[in-house]
């Protein structure tokens, strides 16, 4: 009987074993293998030689690589805040009792379930100067001067990429915020109304603090998704014009196809750090904020 009691007390440890094994096989093992490959001159064909940190040194001495880091960071700084802002606005608007709000929610969320590569090609044909649907509409409306090659200019291509990415994934952010809003007890708003609080005060002192878990989820996922952007850039600009919209993910792939396996693996580890550091800092700061609340 004591044996069964001990097994019951430690059952949670046994149930965690599959998750630990999966984490080890699909994360820790590839990570350690990647670290090993990044310290070699591997080209994926011949026997690699150990070269230490040379791949990392070469990365920071490469102007194209440093430019790609800046492009990736700029994209994230533009995309992640806009996704959270418009996702929250959509959620606040569609949380009310509106006719057809279920259909509106589905329409907003629909682009998120479509492959970003396919969505990028759709927008590529929409934005094509002279023959795209949007330039055609602008010309008909008398705004023919706006029929320019937005994707062919370095100054506008990155902005277009950010806006297309926000348009596609704002529905996912909205769904998380909607779930958070619907978990807030209506009694709190009724009590606030009785105490004389207006809508703005209720939003600031009730809605936003209680949405903190949803905000954390959305900020973290949007940071990760924006910093690892790949498909939408490949479909719309392929990193051009020149390398002005080439993200670090695209740079990694091109180095890999160029038989620089060790170098591309080193760059992938650098991208991993670029993603994990802001996520870690944000989680630490929000944990302190939650404690203060």
| Sequence ranges of the domains in the chain | 1-28, 63-292
Instruction: Find the Cα–Cα–Cα–Cα dihedral 125, 131, 132, 134, rounded to 10°.
Output: 170
CA dihedral for 111, 156, 80, 243, sign (positive or negative): positive
This prediction has a pTM of: 0.88
Give the three-state DSSP class for 164: helix
Contacts of 259 (CB under 8 A, 6+ apart): 43, 44, 45
Distance set, CA 209 to CA 35, 168, 184, 212, 213 (Å)? 41, 27, 10, 5, 9
Q: How many CA atoms lie within 13 A of 100 on its CB side?
A: 4
Contacts of 11 (CB under 8 A, 6+ apart): none
Please tell me the predicted confidence (pLDDT) of residue 103.
Answer: 92
Please tell me the predicted confidence (pLDDT) of residue 293.
Answer: 40
136-192 pLDDT, tens digit each: 787 778 776 666 788 888 878 999 999 999 999 999 999 999 999 998 888 888 888
How does the average pLDDT of the chain come out, rounded? 87
How far is it, in rounded angstroms, from Cα 8 to Cα 122? 56
Which CATH number fits the domain 63-292, given the four candidates 3.20.20.370, 1.10.3720.10, 3.30.1330.10, 3.40.50.170? 1.10.3720.10
40-70 pLDDT, tens digit each: 999 888 889 999 999 999 999 999 999 999 9
Q: Which residue would you say has higher pLDDT here, 38 or 16? A: 38
72-107 pLDDT, tens digit each: 999 999 999 999 999 999 999 998 888 888 899 999
């Amino acid at each position: 009987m004591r044996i069964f009691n001990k097994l019951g007390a430690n059952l949670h440890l046994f149930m965690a074993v599959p998750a630990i094994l999966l984490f080890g096989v699909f994360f820790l093992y590839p990570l350690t293998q990647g670290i090993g490959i990044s310290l070699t001159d591997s080209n994926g064909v011949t026997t690699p030689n150990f070269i230490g940190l040379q791949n990392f040194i070469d990365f920071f001495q490469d102007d194209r690589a440093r430019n790609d880091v800046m492009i990736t960071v700029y994209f994230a700084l533009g995309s992640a805040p806009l996704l959270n802002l418009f996702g929250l606005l959509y959620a606040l608007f569609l949380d009310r009792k509106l006719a057809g709000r279920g259909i509106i929610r589905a329409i907003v969320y629909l682009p998120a379930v479509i492959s970003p590569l396919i969505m990028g090609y759709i927008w590529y044909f929409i934005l094509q100067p002279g023959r795209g649907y949007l330039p055609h509409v602008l010309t008909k409306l008398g705004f023919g001067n706006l029929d320019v090659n937005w994707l062919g200019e370095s100054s506008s291509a990155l902005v277009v990429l950010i806006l297309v990415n926000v348009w596609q994934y704002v529905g996912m952010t909205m769904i998380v915020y909607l779930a958070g809003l619907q978990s807030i007890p209506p009694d709190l708003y009724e009590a606030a109304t009785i105490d004389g609080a207006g809508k703005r005060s209720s939003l600031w002192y009730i809605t936003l603090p209680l949405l903190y878990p949803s905000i954390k989820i959305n900020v973290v996922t949007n940071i990760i998704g924006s910093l690892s952007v790949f498909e939408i850039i490949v479909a719309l600009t392929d990193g051009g014009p020149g390398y002005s919209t080439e993200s670090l993910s695209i740079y990694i792939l091109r180095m890999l196809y160029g038989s620089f396996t060790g170098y591309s693996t080193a760059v992938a580890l650098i991208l991993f750090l670029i993603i994990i550091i802001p996520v870690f800092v944000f989680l630490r700061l929000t944990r302190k904020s939650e404690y203060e609340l």
